Amino acid sequence: MKPSVNLPRPRDLYDRWETQQWAVSQVRVDRDAGRWAELKPFTRRELLTALADLEIGEVCVTQTLSALVDHSPTEDDRIYLCTQMADEGRHVQFFKDYLLGPVGVDRAELETAGSELSRLSAYGAVFEPVLRQATGRVRDSGGEPAVWYAGVVLYHLVTEGVIAGAGLKTLRSFVRTVGGLQALEEGLANVARDETRHLTYGQTACRTGVGAGFADPIGETYLGALDKTVEVLVNPGQKAVSPALRPALAHRAGQLTQQWDSARLRMTRQLELIGLAELRTEAERRWEKAFTETFARYEERWGAPHPVPRATALGLLPA
């Protein structure tokens, strides 16, 4: 007998939202300016890349969530999703203030499509079109349930739960290791708390959808998104830092694999929570295949292996 899963209802999540408010203005991002200026170039670039990933993703979700709100299956779903729209706008403002403030990014660089900053992240080029198409179909279909649940899969489970969730966890750990970035630590903790509610809503909604007979479109959408998910994580269009010294290479490759392992664990855990544990084997097969193919595209483009397979070949990581 399978253990029961008790996920909070949309009203429960709304109640949490009321008690977990925070304000961007109270984070006071400028207090990190002195410490940011002291960081080594490699550390600054790693942090900037991670922040760009999150900012670009947040901008996209603020522009697409309204389709899911407008066609929510119940009033409780709609009311909760309205709180999430407010959260997403607040996240965009926090990352924007931090990038313009302590980091010192030029406003035009931040707000211009195709800028050098935007190229640091693969999300905008790879996954944003997928999410926009899915939420566009929600509107075009008038909220047909199978289409709505597919949108929730891509929005809540994949974008927020796997891609952003793993990246946010890794970034918070890195920031703590760097030390001295109190405003960034505070802001990321606030964002992570919000994202936990968002992901939990997606799990609740999709579990409801599976129980209502929409297991096939939910499962097919999830499995079909895994290749793009891996492409965002690896980002083969951007040349990765590949240290020449073996200890440094092992450390860098280890950081990346830890983030990707976290994303994989989130993927399999989500399938169990929404009632599709039987898809785990196929999901893991597609996950591994996507990494193999993405590493091959990276090597073809850059004429050298990605740091992770390079470190693996040298025996610095488990095969």
Q: Taking a C-beta distance cutoff of 8 angstroms, is the pair 223, 280 a contact?
A: no
Number of domains forming the structure of the chain = 1
> Residue 1: which pLDDT band, with cuts at 50, 70 and 90?
very low
Quick one: the chain helix, strand, coil %, rounded to 5? 80, 0, 20
Is pLDDT of 149 > 60?
yes
**128 belongs to a structural domain:** yes
**3 belongs to a structural domain:** no
Nearest partner of 150 among 130, 127, 165, 125, judged by Cα = 130
Structure tokens at 57: 């993703």
pLDDT mean across residues, the chain: 92
Count of positions (residues) in the chain: 319
String of DSSP letters for 147-168: HHHHHHIIIIIIIIIIIIHHHH
Q: What is the residue whose two structure tokens read 């407008």?
A: 70
Q: Taking a C-beta distance cutoff of 8 angstroms, is the pair 80, 13 a contact?
A: yes
**105 belongs to a structural domain:** yes
What is the extent of the structural domain holding 295? 10-313
Higher pLDDT, 118 or 180: 180
Mean of pLDDT values over 282-302: 97
Provide the angle, in degrees to the nearest 10, between the axes of the packed helices 165-178 and 246-273: 140
Q: How far apart are CA 213 and CA 99, in angstroms?
A: 44
The model's pTM is 0.93
**261 belongs to a structural domain:** yes
**319 belongs to a structural domain:** no
**318 belongs to a structural domain:** no
- Position 282 scores a pLDDT of 98
**140 belongs to a structural domain:** yes
> Residue 56: which pLDDT band, with cuts at 50, 70 and 90?
confident
> Residue 315: which pLDDT band, with cuts at 50, 70 and 90?
very high
**122 belongs to a structural domain:** yes
**Model pLDDT for residues 201-241, shown as the tens digit of each residue:** 999 999 999 999 999 999 999 999 999 999 999 999 989 88
Is pLDDT of 317 > 70?
yes
The CATH number linked to 302 is 1.10.620.20
